[in-house]
Amino acid sequence: MSRGEVGVVYIGKKPATSYVMATVLQINQGAKKVVLKARGRSISRAVDVAEILRLKYLQGLLRISDIRTGTEEIFDETGERRGISVIEIELERKT
Amino acid sequence: MSRGEVGVVYIGKKPATSYVMATVLQINQGAKKVVLKARGRSISRAVDVAEILRLKYLQGLLRISDIRTGTEEIFDETGERRGISVIEIELERKT
């Protein structure tokens, strides 16, 4: 990743630490912003990742610059169309 | 609730619809803002509640005016102190 780019980390069902490390890597590679994206039940984990980064791994170096929510349409296991909540948490390097 | 007050709805483990209805009630009683508060795994449900209100029950009447995250200290089942993520989603009546 080039310096100043915006990174994206998709939050799934792995332990929060996996996504914390992925974000630290992108920041260390020069990303100015990293957006954590999650859907459905992984939304809680996205907030965990942001908080762990802000308070522990990148304490003082990172701020949450924006949090957006939305709804996407998916087809579930039974083929039914339904809405699923999504979140995007934008993290910005302070320096 | 008096007109113009700020309401609070605590999101727990009930179905999202319960909290949707609680919020609609507060808005109908005159609240200008309602803050949805959730911790841990209920965070995903708080986003569901906000999205259902915004897109369905109070479509066009409500906007998400702020989303804040944080970490609170709790004592878990084993007596260990640990951090738990929290979210506050602020909903504002448009009119």
Domain architecture of chain B: domains with CATH = 6-93 (3.30.110.20)
Closest Cα in chain B to A54: B70
Q: Is the ipTM of this complex over 0.85?
A: yes
**How far apart are alpha carbons B74 and B15 in whole angstroms?**
24
Whether A73 contacts A86, CB under 8 Å = no
Closest Cα in chain A to B54: A70
Amino acid at A38: A
**What dihedral do alpha carbons A15, A57, B42, A34 form, nearest 10°?**
-90
Cα A15–chain centre separation: 13
Of A44, A55, A85, the CB nearest to B51: A85
Can you point out the beta strands (E) in B17-61? 33-39
**How far apart are alpha carbons A14 and A45 in whole angstroms?**
9
**How far apart are alpha carbons B7 and B22 in whole angstroms?**
10
Report chain B residues touching chain A, CB-CB < 8 A. Answer: 40-44, 47-48, 50-51, 55, 64, 67-71, 83, 85, 87, 89
Mean pLDDT across chain B: 93
**How far apart are alpha carbons A87 and A56 in whole angstroms?**
22
What is the pTM (predicted TM-score) of this model? 0.91
Asked whether the predicted pLDDT for residue B1 surpasses 60, the reply is no
Q: Do A55 and B71 touch (CB under 8 A)?
A: yes
Pairing between β-strand A81-93 and β-strand A62-75 as defined by DSSP bridges: antiparallel
pLDDT tens, per residue, chain A with 95 residues: 556 789 999 999 999 999 999 999 999 999 999 999 999 999 999 999 999 999 998 888 999 999 999 999 988 888 888 899 999 999 999 87
**How far apart are alpha carbons A23 and A72 in whole angstroms?**
24
Q: Do A85 and B55 touch (CB under 8 A)?
A: no
Whether B89 contacts B20, CB under 8 Å = no
Q: Do B69 and A67 touch (CB under 8 A)?
A: yes
**How far apart are alpha carbons B80 and B69 in whole angstroms?**
22
Across residues B5-10, what is the average pLDDT? 95
Locate A58 and state its tokens: 């990148």
Of A47, A64, A70, the CB nearest to B43: A47
Q: In which band, very low, low, confident or very high, does the pLDDT at B77 lie, cut at 50, 70 and 90?
A: confident
